[in-house]
Amino acid sequence: MFNVLRAEPKTTFEYGPFRIRRMRPGKILPENSDDAFGPLSVIDHANLELGTLVKMHEHNNDEIFSYMWRGSMVHADSAGHRISLSPKKLMMMNAGESFWHEESTPLVPAEMLQIFIRPRKANLESRVQFMERPDGVKQNEWTLLAAPEGIESPLEIRQAVYVYDIRMDENTTTEIPAHPGFAQWLYVMDGEISIADVSLSKGDAISDEESALPAASAKKETTLVCFLVCLGAEAILEGAISGK
């Protein structure tokens, strides 16, 4: 049975030029006592207008994936980095015991997902990782962006979660990534798709409790982000954002 989470404008809030729509992925599951989808806790679909500054602030015990879809954002942190992020350069902050960062858009606006995952243990070592992909999102081919520890991938998550993306041409079809024992949570970053008789547009998500999702067909050029999540994975609730 498909479970669909529709984009809800009422979950959007603004801080001046910084606007986010906060999603609780677990709300896709009926009668779920937790707003998280296993350890996948919070997803912020953020729009940062030109001149946005999110001042230096601390995170604890959050695995934070910055998925840049459009524009660029300057990242600065307590490890001494000052780096421009874009669809060609993604970032994973493994906040652990303590990690400070600041984000700004001095050159162009940005649109992105800020993804908060509950780590497997509290107070792990803090670090930051970057992924280079000079050509940006691949057309009609899934890319593995992040995976659990011990799995070869560009970015490492200290949790049983995989993240993929794809850019689909209009009127193309793709199978959805799947792994045994992992539930799919598929997000429409932009565009429009159909899965069986279900239509999904920008900001919508779909999952299936009982079996793998069928193939997706793009009604126009579309970007998809797919999360594979072990719903029963051990996770801590001490995260500044993910634990709430």
User: Tens digits of per-residue pLDDT, 141-169?
Assistant: 999 999 999 999 999 999 999 999 999 99
Residues, the chain: 244
What would the mean pLDDT of 184-208 be, rounded to a whole number? Answer: 96
Tokens 């999110």 -> residue: 54
pLDDT of 10 higher than 80 = no
Average pLDDT, the chain: 94
> What is the DSSP code string of 166-228?
EEEPTT-EEPPP--TT-EEEEEEEESEEEETTEEEETT-EEEESSSPPPPEEESSSEEEEEEE
Tokens 């001042």 -> residue: 55
pLDDT of 87 higher than 90 = yes
Res 209: pLDDT: 72
What would the mean pLDDT of 17-29 be, rounded to a whole number? Answer: 92
Give the whole-angstrom CA distance, residue 28 versus residue 204: 10
User: Which H helix or E strand runs over 163?
Assistant: strand 161-168
